[in-house]
Amino acid sequence: MEFFVSLLDILLFPDPQLRKVAAPVNTVDGRVAALADDMLETMYNAPGIGLAATQINVHERLVVIDVSEENDQPLVLINPVLVHSEGEAEMQEGCLSIPEIYETIKRPSHVTVEAVDREGSPFKLDADGLLAVCLQHEIDHLDGKLFVDYLSPLKRNRIRKKMIKAARELEDND
Ligand code: GNR
Ligand code: NI
């Protein structure tokens, strides 16, 4: 099994594809399970604690998360919906689509998310701490939203210019 998973390319800000709103997954079948496996492998390899399908240019409502230290608690969320949030907390966030940028973002501290798992069964998840932040960050991706959207336009523009410059320098090295 391990031999056949593949690593997927991750879109980088300010790629306009990151702004697309993902469509619901209609049928949870082998295609979706295989996509989730490839996304998990890509996330662990990066390394990251979450990955939304939007980031690999697949505009379907599918996210994978693993906030465990040992990378042994993979979560697959299909059609996730934030049904409740409360409180407030600040955390330093990063994003695989915005490498090397880390900013403190204020979000609700406790969330309840409903989703469907890779077997097609609905489940509900109550979360706080890093998992709550990651769930909100990933659901934002499915709606075309990035953590830099919570920053001032001035800060966001500085980050955008930095990313464009870094991409250009990588190209020049070819
Ligand atoms: O790997 C990631 N770390 C992280 C840290 C704090 C808040 C959110 C995240 S998610 C990020 C991976 C990613 O970009 N997921 O979309
Ligand atoms: Ni992200």
- Residue 154: left (phi > 0), alpha (psi -120 to 50), or beta? alpha
pLDDT tens across 125-135, in order? 999 999 999 99
Kindly report the pTM of this predicted structure. Answer: 0.96
Non-local CB neighbours of 68 within 8 Å, separated by 6+ positions: none
Position 1 in a domain: no
Q: Which two tokens stand for residue 77?
A: 């969320």
Position 11 in a domain: no
User: Has residue 4 got a pLDDT over 70?
Assistant: no
Which amino acid is present at 35?
Answer: L
User: Has residue 172 got a pLDDT over 90?
Assistant: no
Q: How far is the CA of 52 from the centre of ligand 1 (A)?
A: 10
pLDDT tens across 53-94, in order? 999 999 999 999 999 999 999 999 999 999 999 999 999 999
Q: How far is the CA of 174 from the centre of ligand 1 (A)?
A: 29
Round the average pLDDT of the chain to a whole number and report it. Answer: 96
By residue range, what is the domain housing residue 21? 16-173
Residue 58: give its domain's CATH number.
3.90.45.10
Instruction: Ligand 1 pocket test: pick from 12, 39, 96 the residue with the most ligand atoms within 8 Å of its Cβ.
Output: 96
Displacement of CA 143 from its chain's centroid (Å): 11
Which SS3 state, helix, strand or coil, does residue 65 take? strand
Atom number in ligand 1 closest to CA 47 = 1
- Residue 120: left (phi > 0), alpha (psi -120 to 50), or beta? left
Mean pLDDT within 129-155: 98
pLDDT tens across 84-104, in order? 999 999 999 999 999 999 999
pLDDT the model gives residue 6:
73
Which SS3 state, helix, strand or coil, does residue 164 take? helix
Mean pLDDT within 139-158: 98
Position 129 in a domain: yes
Q: Which two tokens stand for residue 113?
A: 């998310």
127: β partners? 111
User: Has residue 2 got a pLDDT over 70?
Assistant: no
- Residue 169: left (phi > 0), alpha (psi -120 to 50), or beta? alpha
pLDDT the model gives residue 173:
77
Atom number in ligand 1 closest to CA 134 = 8
Overall number of domains in the chain: 1
Q: How far is the CA of 130 from the centre of ligand 1 (A)?
A: 9
